[in-house]
Amino acid sequence: MRVAAPVGDLSTQAADAPVSAVRRFLLARGSSRWADRVFSGLMLLCALAIFAIVALIAAELLSQSQPSWHAFGLSFFYHYNVDPVTHLPLFWDPVNGVFYALPFIYGTLVTSLVALCIAVPLAVGLAVFLTEMCPRWLRSPLSFFTELLAAIPSVVYGLWAIFVLIPLLRDNINPFFIAIFQQPTLVRLFAWTHLFGDDGLFGGVNLGLGLLGAGVILAIMILPIIAALTREVMSAVPNSQREAALALGATRWEMIRIAVLRNARIGIVGSVILGLGRALGETMAVAMVIGNSPEIHLSLLSMGHSMASVIANEFTEATSDMHRSALIEVGLALFLVTILVNACARLLVWAVTRGATARVQ
Amino acid sequence: MGVAIEVKALNAWYGATHTLQDIELHIPANHATALIGPSGCGKSTFVRCLNRMHETNPIARVTGSVKIGDLDIYNDISPVEIRRRVGMVFQRPNPFPTMSIYDNVCSGLKLNGYRNRRELDEIVERSLRSAALWDEVRDDLKKKSGASLSGGQQQRMCIARALAVDPEVLLMDEPASALDPVSTSKIEDLIFQLKSQYTIVIVTHNMQQAARVAEKTGFFLNGRLVEFDSTHKIFTNPTDKRTEDYITGRFG
Ligand SMILES: Nc1ncnc2c1ncn2[C@@H]1O[C@H](COP(=O)(O)OP(=O)(O)O)[C@@H](O)[C@H]1O
Ligand SMILES: [Mg+2]
C-alpha cells in the first residue's frame, strides 16, 4: 500500500515498506511548532505582566508621593523633630505637619524579625517531624491543622491576639523575660550588650500590646506558610539520598541534617522569604496589637507602629494633602523595603549555593 | 521498520569541553549496533545527539550532520518530530510514577492525541508483549502504578513505552546496567528479537552483551570513535591497538 507519504518519510525502502497505523498517525501530526510558539508566547506574556504590574505600582506610588518627597526629601526616612514640651523625639504628628517615617520602618522590620526568629525554627521542626518521623495516622490531621492556620483571616488573628495572646503575654510570658533581663547579675555581666536592664530588650512598662505581641502574632500567621512549603521541598528529596546517608552509619538526626536539610536548604530559604514577605506586609492583625504609636524604643514591650498599619489606620482620615502624600510615601517605602529584603535573601541563597549543584537529581 | 543512520563530522560540547570530536559513522538499518568504551568517553552524549536530546542541556552545543533515513535531523525537522520517530531508553528506568502501567505505555500516543480506545488497548498489549512483560502485568495494568514494578520490570515497561509509538530507531543507553542478570538477559533477548524490525543503538559497558546482541560495534575513547566494524572483527581481530587493549582489559 502506498501511503500519501508525508514530507520526509524516514523509510529508506519507502515505496513498499509497510507503514503502521501508529506511525502514519504520528507522521501526519506535523511539527506542532506553532503550538509551542504560542505556548512560549503566553508564558512570556505572563512573565512580562509581572514586570508591568510592578512598574505600574511603583510609578503610581512615586507620582502620588511627590508632595511629601518635595517637602522632606530623604530626611523623610531618618529625621525627627524634638517635642517642645517633653523633649522627646517627635516623628509623626499629622496635626502639626510633622511626617518622618522611621518608626514605621523600624516597627515593620523588628516585628518581622521577631516573627522569623519564632516561626522559622518551629516551622522547620514541624516540617521535619511531618516528613521524617511522624506516625502515619498523625500525618494528615497535623498537616490539615497547619494549613488551616493559613486560612484564618487576619482580623480573626487580631481579635484572638487582643483577647487571648496579649493577656497571656502580659501576665505569664513577659514577666518571665523581664525577670531574666532585669536580673541584677545578668544586667551587670551583659551591660555591654545594652540589651539588659530597664532600657534593654525587656525594659519599660509591660502592657502586653506592643512590638513583641505583634511579632508573636505574625509568627503564628507565617508559620503555616513556611512549614507547608518546607515540607514540600523536604518530601521532594529523593529517598536514595536518605539511604545514602543511613548506609554511611548516620543516625536519624544526622541523616536529616546531611541528606534532607542540606538538599532542601534552598527551598527552605525560599519559603522563609515568602513568609517574611507576608510578615512585612501584614496589616490588620498588627494594627490591632502593636499599639499604634509612632515611637522608637529598643524594648520589645514598648508600643510601636508599622508601615502597613499606619496606612490602614490613617489613610481614610488623612485630610491634608501632605498627610495623604506622606502615607503614600510610607507605602513606597514598604514596597522598597520588601524588594530590598527579597534581594538580600536571594543574595544569601546565591552565596550559600555558589559552586554547589543546587538540585538533586 | 527501521532506517539507517548516517553521522558526519559530528562535534559536541558541554560549555567549553569538547566532548565529541569529528564522529563519522554509518549505522545500518534493522540491525543492532553496540557502542562500547570507558566511562566518560562520550557514548551517552553521542546517542543523545541522535535524537537531539543533547541540546536540551542549556550549556550544550552540537555541529555536524546526522541523517536518519533521508532526513538531516538538525536541518529538516524539529526536535519534537524527530523524537517521535526515535525512541529512547535510559540507563535508569524512568517510569512516570503517577501513571498506571497502561497509561505509562501509551503515554507517547496519548500526548500526541491518539484516542482510539480499542487500538490503544491493542497497542499496549502488543508493546508489552514485545517487551516480554505482558504476562507479568496483564492483571493489574490499570491498577498498579508504573513505579510499583521491580527495576527490571520498570525498564521493560520503559522499552514498551518506547515501542508503543512504533519508532524507526531505538536508542538504548546502558539499558541493563542497573539490572540483575535475569532481567538483563531478558532485555538482551528482547533486543535480539526487536532488531529485525528496528534500528537499535545500544550503549553498553558489558562486552559480552555487545558480542551477544550486536552485529556492529563501535569503540569510543576520549570523545573519538576509534574503531567501528563488525562485532566479530572488533572482538577477535581489532585493527587499532587501543581497541585491543580495551577489549582484553589491559586498559589503564
Ligand atoms: N550534563 C553535563 N554537563 C557537563 N559535562 C558533561 C555532562 N554530561 C556529560 N559530561 C561530560 O561529557 C563527557 C562524556 O560524558 P558521557 O557522554 O556521559 O560519557 P559516557 O556515557 O561514555 O560515560 C564526560 O567527560 C562528562 O564529564
Ligand atoms: Mg553514559
A212-244 per-position pLDDT tens digit: 999 999 999 999 999 999 998 998 888 888 888
User: What is the reported pLDDT for B46?
Assistant: 96
Looking at the partner chain, which of B69, B78, B109 has a beta carbon nearest the beta carbon of A33? B78
Find the B203 Cα to ligand 2 centroid distance in Å.
Answer: 8
Please give the Cα distance from B191 to B131 (Å, whole number).
9
Contact A240/B at CB under 8 A? no
At A149, give phi and psi (nearest 5°). Answer: -55, -35
- B187 bridge partner residues: none
Contact A96/B at CB under 8 A? no
Q: Are B70 and B151 in contact (CB under 8 A)?
A: no
Instruction: For chain B, list residues whose CB is within 8 angstroms of any CB belonging to chain A.
Output: 1, 3-4, 29, 68-71, 76-78, 80-81, 84-85, 109, 112-114, 119, 123, 164-166, 168
Query: How many C-alpha atoms does B212 have within 13 Å on its Cβ side?
Result: 16
Residue B158 burial (10 A CB sphere; 0-12, 13-18, 19+): buried
Which residues of chain B neighbour A10 with C-beta distances below 8 Å? Answer: 3, 68-71, 85, 168
Looking at the partner chain, which of B3, B4, B84 has a beta carbon nearest the beta carbon of A26? B84
If one residue of B10, B11, B13, B17 were mutated to test the ligand 1 pocket, choosing by the most ligand atoms within 8 A of its CB, it would be B17
User: What is the reported pLDDT for A150?
Assistant: 85
What angle separates helix A136-151 from helix A211-235, to the nearest 10 degrees? Answer: 130
Please give the Cα distance from B157 to A79 (Å, whole number).
71
Find the A353 Cα to ligand 2 centroid distance in Å.
Answer: 27
Q: What does R_g of chain A's alpha carbons equal in angstroms?
A: 28
Looking at the partner chain, which of B81, B114, B168 has a beta carbon nearest the beta carbon of A25? B114
Mean pLDDT of B146-151: 90
3-state secondary structure of B172: strand
Which residues of chain B neighbour A9 with C-beta distances below 8 Å? Answer: 69-70
Mean pLDDT of A305-330: 92
User: What is the reported pLDDT for A25?
Assistant: 86
Rounding to the nearest 10 degrees, give the CA dihedral for residues A278, A280, A283, A289.
110
**Who wins on pLDDT, A276 or A358?**
A276
Q: How many CB atoms are closer than 10 A to CB A90? A: 18
Q: Which atom of ligand 1 is nearest to the CA of B203?
A: 21
Q: Is the predicted pLDDT of residue B9 greater than 60, yes or no? A: yes
User: What is the reported pLDDT for A244?
Assistant: 82
Asked whether B40 lines ligand 1 (CB < 6 A), one says yes
At B40, give phi and psi (nearest 5°). Answer: 80, 5
> Residue A1 gets which letter from DSSP?
-
Please give the Cα distance from A182 to A192 (Å, whole number).
14
Asked whether B223 lines ligand 1 (CB < 6 A), one says no
Q: Is the predicted pLDDT of residue A12 greater than 60, yes or no? A: no
User: What is the reported pLDDT for A347?
Assistant: 83
Please give the Cα distance from A58 to A46 (Å, whole number).
19
User: What is the reported pLDDT for A344?
Assistant: 84
User: What is the reported pLDDT for A214?
Assistant: 95
User: What is the reported pLDDT for B22?
Assistant: 95
Alpha helices in chain B (DSSP H): 43-49, 79-85, 101-105, 107-111, 117-130, 134-137, 151-164, 181-194, 207-213, 231-236, 241-247
CB contact under 8 A, A22 and B78: no
> Residue B111 gets which letter from DSSP?
H
> Residue A204 gets which letter from DSSP?
S
Q: Are B225 and B205 in contact (CB under 8 A)?
A: no
Which residues of chain B neighbour A29 with C-beta distances below 8 Å? Answer: 84, 112-113
Q: Are B146 and B95 in contact (CB under 8 A)?
A: yes
Q: Which amino acid is at B146?
A: G
CB contact under 8 A, A26 and B68: no
User: What is the reported pLDDT for A6?
Assistant: 41
Residue environment code for A91-119, b if the CB has 16+ CB neighbours within 10 A, otherwise e: bbebeeebbbbbbbbbbbbbbbebbbebb
pLDDT tens digits, one per residue of B18-49 = 999 999 999 999 999 999 999 999 999 999 99
At A238, give phi and psi (nearest 5°). Answer: -65, 145
Asked whether B204 lines ligand 1 (CB < 6 A), one says no
**Who wins on pLDDT, A31 or A169?**
A169
User: What is the reported pLDDT for A156?
Assistant: 94
User: What is the reported pLDDT for A353?
Assistant: 67
Which residues of chain B neighbour A17 with C-beta distances below 8 Å? Answer: 1
Contact A13/B at CB under 8 A? yes
Asked whether B19 lines ligand 1 (CB < 6 A), one says yes
> Residue B28 gets which letter from DSSP?
P
Q: Is the predicted pLDDT of residue B252 greater than 80, yes or no? A: no
CB contact under 8 A, A12 and B29: yes
Q: Give the closest-approach CA distance of B149 to chain A in angstroms.
A: 17
Q: Is the predicted pLDDT of residue A1 greater than 60, yes or no? A: no
> Residue A261 gets which letter from DSSP?
I
Distances (CA, A) of B41 to A248, B19, B21, B46, B172: 30, 8, 11, 10, 16
Contact A11/B at CB under 8 A? yes
CB contact under 8 A, A12 and B3: yes
> Could you tell me the sign of the dihedral formed by the alpha carbons of A349, A350, A356, A361, in that order?
positive
Instruction: Tell how strand B5-14 and strand B60-68 pair up.
Output: antiparallel
User: What is the reported pLDDT for B159?
Assistant: 92
User: What is the reported pLDDT for A361?
Assistant: 36
Which cell is A270 given? Answer: 525560599
Q: Which atom of ligand 1 is nearest to the CA of B46?
A: 17
pLDDT tens digits, one per residue of A36-46 = 889 999 999 99
pLDDT tens digits, one per residue of A104-127 = 999 999 999 999 999 999 999 999
Please state, rounded to an integer, the average pLDDT across all residues of chain B. Answer: 91
Please give the Cα distance from B131 to B145 (Å, whole number).
18
If one residue of B10, B23, B45 were mutated to test the ligand 1 pocket, choosing by the most ligand atoms within 8 A of its CB, it would be B45
For every residue of A107-160, DSSP letters joined together read HHHHHHHHHHHHHHHHHHHHHHIIIII--HHHHHHHHHHHHHHHHS-HHHHHHH
Please give the Cα distance from A218 to A111 (Å, whole number).
8
Find the B62 Cα to ligand 2 centroid distance in Å.
Answer: 17
CATH numeric code, A101-360: 1.10.3720.10
Please give the Cα distance from A298 to A194 (Å, whole number).
9
Closest among A273, A203, A204, A189 to A233, alpha carbons compared:
A273
Please give the Cα distance from B190 to B88 (Å, whole number).
15
Q: Is the predicted pLDDT of residue A26 greater than 70, yes or no? A: yes
Which ligand is nearest to the Cα of residue B40, counting in written order?
1
Find the B177 Cα to ligand 2 centroid distance in Å.
Answer: 10
User: What is the reported pLDDT for A117?
Assistant: 96
Q: How many CB atoms are closer than 10 A to CB A250? A: 16
Distances (CA, A) of B12 to A227, A281, B26: 44, 50, 18
**Who wins on pLDDT, A62 or A251?**
A62
Please give the Cα distance from B133 to A143 (Å, whole number).
39
Which ligand is nearest to the Cα of residue B173, counting in written order?
2
User: What is the reported pLDDT for B239?
Assistant: 94
> Residue A163 gets which letter from DSSP?
I
User: What is the reported pLDDT for A8?
Assistant: 39
If one residue of B13, B41, B47 were mutated to test the ligand 1 pocket, choosing by the most ligand atoms within 8 A of its CB, it would be B41
Please give the Cα distance from A222 to A281 (Å, whole number).
11
- The model's confidence at residue A11, banded by pLDDT at 50, 70 and 90, is very low
pLDDT tens digits, one per residue of A155-195 = 999 999 999 999 999 999 999 999 988 888 888 888 888 88
Find the B37 Cα to ligand 2 centroid distance in Å.
Answer: 10
Does the domain at B5-93+168-247 match CATH 3.40.50.300? Answer given as yes
Q: Say how many Å lie between the first and final Cα of chain B, rounded.
A: 41
User: What is the reported pLDDT for A17?
Assistant: 55
Cβ within 8 Å of residue A72, ≥6 positions away: A79, A99, A100, A326
Q: Are B88 and B171 in contact (CB under 8 A)?
A: yes
Structural domain spans, chain B = 5-93+168-247
CB contact under 8 A, A23 and B69: no
Asked whether B83 lines ligand 1 (CB < 6 A), one says no
Q: Which atom of ligand 1 is nearest to the CA of B173?
A: 21
pLDDT tens digits, one per residue of B192-209 = 988 998 999 999 988 889
CB contact under 8 A, A29 and B112: yes
